[in-house]
Every structure is written in C-alpha cells, then in structure tokens.
A and B are shown apart, each in its own frame.
Chain A
Amino acid sequence: MLCGAGATRAEDASSWREIETKYIFGFTTGSGIGLEGEKEFTVDSVGRFGKRDGHYAATETKYEFEFTPSQFVQIEFGALGSTHNIGGMTDLDGRNQAAFAGGFAEFRYLAVERTSNNPLSVTLAIEPTVRLIDETSGVRVRNYEFETTVNADFELLKNRLYAGLNLLYEPEATRTATDGTLREAKFGGSAALAVRLAPNFLLGGEVWYLRHYDSPTLSDFTGDAVMAGPTLYVQFTRKMFMTAAWNAQVWGREVGNSSPLNLSEFQRHRARLKFAYEF
C-alpha cells in the first residue's frame, strides 16, 4: 500500500477522480451523501477503552444499510450490536457480555454543495437511535438518542487536501429499572484535516471538543473533554473501502472532581473501524 502511495506521489492530483468525503475524516463526518441510486452496506465499529480505575472496554457496532434516493438526500438505517468487558471498577459493575443493542436511522440533507467554484459543502443530519443496552455500563435500559449534526468540509487543494468540521448536539433519555428516567446531552464540535497521498489512500488527524450536560437543554454542565488522534481512509476497490481512526483524551475536566481528564462521561481512548461495500 505504501509502495503504491510512493509510486503515485509524482502523479498530478488534478487527474485523480474526485473523492466522496463522508468517511475520510475518522470520527468527523464529511458532507458527502453518495450518488443518486447508490446503495451501501457497512459494518462500523466504535470501541471505547479506559476509565478511572479497573479495566474497561466497550464496543458498539452498526450493521448499516445506506442509500441515496435523490441528489440531496441520503438515508441510513440498521441494527446495533455491543460488547462490554468491565472489571475492577468503582462505579460500574463488572460484566463480560455481547448483545443485540438496538437500532437506528439517519437522514442526511445536503444543504450547500461543492462546485469547482465553491470549496465548501455542508450537510445536515439527524440520527434517532433506540438502545436496549446502555453504551457505557452495558446494563439493560431503554435509551432514546436524537443526534443532530452539521457536517461541513472544504476542499483546500484540489483532490489533495480536505478540512472537515462537525457540530454535534446529542440529547438522550434513558429509562432504567432502578433509577427512573435520566436525561442528558452531549454538545461539541470537531476539526479534521485529511491529505490524499494517493488516489485511494488518505491520512489525517482530528480534534474533538465535547461537553456533557445532565439536561437536554444544556443547562446542567457536568464536564468536558478534548479528544484527538490520527485517521486513515483506504479505497480497496472501486466499490469497497475502509476507514479507521483513533482518538485519545488529551484534556478533560469533571465538575466537582479535580482529577485530570474526564473519565466519567468520556473514555481514555476510542477507536473506529469501518468497512463498506457499495452496490
């Protein structure tokens, strides 16, 4: 792969095909919505690792079908699977489980389209999700999440260098057997850069700033964190690609806790691995 990248370094990038930007920025989502009539099946896993003490590893995998019914709209839906491997923690019960975790749908609308005269492209997205398993603890719950994002990207150098920006608002309500209904929200944004080293190979980096509230109206702030790390995108064939990303928490704070980092609402590390097949 790296040999291929080296061999094509001298190529004129203006002769490369334009690239779909949705998945080139890691956890940051680009504005791409695919091609009208295109369908895609993806397996998208996100792992979260490390809390304050003990051992913590949790994953959530989306088994996702996406299609583009028009030149402005993309629709996705699918099922969720999760795993939790938790032990020796003060705040969470130990468990080692894999489970069907719920379902989701996503609607994406391209609000500003890129042209050869305008490098900016913006997509608005909403993603309602129903979970049967709590993302953090692995406990059985009924969780309703309504993620709302603005996905923007710029083509800084034609076919070579891209910048991505996300804005996120994610309110959720969780009903548990013991604690009644808990309401919370996440709010934040990200900035990412991706450089296309070869027609089928991009490397980049991203930074996320996330805030957590114990209220969907963003009135009860509990802490925030900064996550940062590298990203990778590889197009294997015309119809198959993968994306990978790893973020480490580089800064964080919790209200009422002077410990470094915010490990109550966020994790030390998170990683994403996604494979997609278009048809």
Chain B
Amino acid sequence: MSAATMIMRTLIPAAVGAIALLQPAWAEPAAEVRVTYSNGQFQPGVVSAPVDKPVVIHVRNLDAKALEFESTSLRVEKVVAAQSEVIVNVRALKPGRYEFYDDFNDKARGALVVE
C-alpha cells in the first residue's frame, strides 16, 4: 500500500468521525434568543440562554445599512442586510459570557450570558 493511500485511509475516517461528534449537540431542542439592531446598537445589550442547549439567535437589523454579527467566542459571523433578519445557529454552550459585536461598527457590542 502506498503512503498516499495509507494517508487517505487514515484521514477520511478521522474527518468523518470528527464531524460526527458534532451531531448530538444539534439534535437537542434549541433555545431562541432575539436581538434587534437599531441606531448602531444591539437591543437588548445582554441576552441570556440556558446551559448545554443549542441556541438560535434571531438578529433583526432595523438600520438602513448592513451589519456583520460576529463573535470570536461563539465562533460565528453573519452579514445582516439593512432592514432584514437572519438566524445564527450556535452550538450547545457551557456557562459563561459570550461577547458579540457588529464587525462594521466597533461601538456596537452585546453579550450572550449562558447560565
């Protein structure tokens, strides 16, 4: 067996296994959270969600320009066009404070508190 074949035979099951590990988290019912963006600010500034449950964040942009909903700790980013709404799916979370922001506007900050 060539080294390339050996690498592929090891690699593909490992990648499939890693992705399969994610599935149970998404199978649980999700908690829903709603955030509105207007006048360059998130409202409310702090939202909460339960521990160990996937979270669906509805981000509604009331402003006349697009925003990019982004969070390093939540590991998500999504552009929300002017006067529209998007859904951001987040994995089941451990207790803690997860900050988010508009990547186009440094002053627009918010946080998801999981407890």
Contact = CB atoms under 8 A, between A and B. Distances in A.
Interface of A: 17-20, 33-38, 68, 70-73, 105, 107, 109, 113-118, 126, 128, 130, 144, 146, 173, 238
Given A115-B93, A115-B98, 11 more contacts: A17-B106, A18-B99, A71-B91, A72-B21, A73-B19, A107-B15, A107-B18, A114-B73, A117-B96, A144-B7, A173-B3
Given A37-B78, A128-B7, A146-B7, A20 B72 contact: yes
B7 A238 contact: no
Sorted nearest first, the 9 A-B pairs with minimum C-beta distance are A115-B96, A144-B3, A116-B96, A18-B72, A116-B97, A35-B77, A128-B7, A71-B75, A109-B18
Given A126-B11, A126-B14, A144-B3, A18 B73 contact: yes
B101 interface: yes
Contacts, number: 77
Interface of B: 3-4, 7, 10-11, 14-15, 18-19, 21-22, 70-78, 90-91, 93-99, 101, 103, 106
Nearest to A117: B96
Contact of B103 (A105, A117, A238): A238
Nearest to A38: B77
| Chain A at the B interface: SS class | loop
A130 B6 CA distance: 12
**DSSP class of B's interface residues: helix, strand, loop or mixed?**
mixed
Contact of B91 (A72, A109, A173): A72
A68 B4 contact: no
5 contacts: A35-B75, A36-B77, A72-B91, A117-B96, A144-B7
B108 to A, nearest CB: 11
Contact of B18 (A37, A73, A114): A73
Nearest to B91: A71
B33 to A, nearest CB: 16
A72 B73 contact: no
A54 to B, nearest CB: 32
A130 B72 CA distance: 33
Contact of A36 (B19, B75, B97): B75
B63 to A, nearest CB: 18
Nearest to A70: B22
Contacts of A73: 18-19, 22
